Structure 1
Amino acid sequence: MAETSFFDEQHVLHRLKVGDIDAFNATYWQYHGAIYRNILRFTKNEDTAADLLQDVFVKLWEKRDTLQPGKSISGLLFVISYHLTVNHSKKALRELLAKSELSLHQSVADSSEEASDLESQHELLERAIARLTEQKQLVFTRCKLEGKSYGEVARELGISKHTVKEHLSIAMKTVKTYIRQNGRDLLAIGLLTFLDCWG
């Protein structure tokens, strides 16, 4: 699959699901910049962000056979990034507390629970985005999940930067309200916090 300026996410998802390495590479080149920048905002460390970026795409490859048609790759990458970044922060905190001879009385979720949380959050995000009008879905996905600037999205959609900003503001309120009302407390809070800083 040759790399082009147009990225057909659903076509790529279908190819990725069956193990097409070119589809995986195309996905990496489409999203790695935005994912790296946003992980860096949380970690404040370039090496850590680079490591977590690689982990995000390893996790995507491992989960490729579970990809569902019609779902968003960018949304899944967002949720995977969130989980890996939070897990990294928890691990760093545990190590810091251990060095201080303090104990952290919180059990680490096993891998099956983590996988369940990841799937639940991806579904929650997808349902929230589905409540938006088509134009707002495009703006939200491109600005928040793909990390594009207002100017880039304005040019792609043929609207003004001001309109992009207005659409995104309304979309964010709608998505955040839905997540608050329909997500389990801790999962919803974490997802909302990450979403506020993403993109």
Structure 2
Amino acid sequence: MEEINGLSDDALLALLKADDARAYDMLFAKYYKLCYVNAYFYLKDEEEAKDAVQEFFVDLFEKKGYFHLEGNIKGYLYRAITNRCFNRLRSAERERKRKEHLGLDGVTEDALPDPSTNEKMYDKLHQAFSLLSVQRKEALKLVYVKEKRYQEAADQMGISVNSLKTHLKIGLKKMREALMRPAKD
């Protein structure tokens, strides 16, 4: 067994389950570097890796996830960080696809118009949205506002995934067309 400050992983786990706050600090000190290297391997970004590991340890402490842990701490931490990284990568990919689908790929949040300085565009957007059918509005809201997956949104609307995709495609097309028309002053 690996030891830190003379404690084996089993002893450390026992202290964690006894709610000894020092044990949490020892766990963090002992395994932070391993977790960081693992996260960096998947995320390829120092800050993302640090954030993922920090969030994991905060969640572990707040949710007291170590109470259900038996056996190999190192293996658990390795797997938990790997899963967290995969979740981050999936989330980033979904966001990239959404932006691409909306025609916003390559656009950063800083480049998006500020609502207080561009009210006409938002009025135009609202007007274009109001012209859509009820189902198209609902499809766009569920997928792009509430961030539901296609299957979840389709189930909620009581339609097939293909029907949902059709509503999204036509809705987005009509929104783009409306936004591209010159403003009527």
TM-score, normalised with respect to structure 1:
0.47
State the Cα distance separating 1:106 from its structure 2 match. Answer: 6.7
Structure 1 residues 9 and 106: CA distance shift in structure 2, 3 A? farther
CA distance in 1, matches of 2:28, 2:22: 10
Equivalence for 2:164: none
Residue 46, structure 1, aligned to residue 50, structure 2: no
Q: Secondary structure at the match of 1:37?
A: helix
Q: Give the letter aligned to residue 101 of structure 1.
A: H
State the Cα distance separating 1:37 from its structure 2 match. Answer: 1.2
Equivalence for 2:18: 18
Note the alpha carbon deviations across 1:47-84, whole angstroms, 9 max, x for none: 1001001122123322122223xx11111101210111
**Identical-pair percentage:** 27
The answer (yes or no) to whether the contact 1:52–1:85 under 8 Å persists in 2 is yes
Equivalence for 1:59: 59
Q: Secondary structure at the match of 2:67?
A: helix
Note the alpha carbon deviations across 1:99-148, whole angstroms, 9 max, x for none: 001787576xxxxxxxxxxxxxxxxxxxxxxxxxxxxxxxxxxxxxxxxx
Q: Secondary structure at the match of 1:56?
A: helix
Note the alpha carbon deviations across 1:169-194, whole angstroms, 9 max, x for none: xxxxxxxxxxxxxxxxxxxxxxxxxx
Tell me which stretches of 4 or more aligned residues in structure 1 moved more than 4 Å. 102-107
Q: Secondary structure at the match of 2:101?
A: coil
The answer (yes or no) to whether the contact 1:18–1:65 under 8 Å persists in 2 is no
Equivalent pairs, count: 103
Q: Give the letter aligned to residue 68 of structure 2.
A: T
CA distance in 2, matches of 1:8, 1:14: 10
Unaligned runs of 5+ in 2: 103-142, 144-148, 153-185
The answer (yes or no) to whether the contact 1:17–1:67 under 8 Å persists in 2 is no
Structure 1 residues 101 and 74: CA distance shift in structure 2, 3 A? same
Equivalence for 2:82: 82
RMSD of aligned residue pairs (Cα, Å): 2.2
Equivalence for 2:8: 8
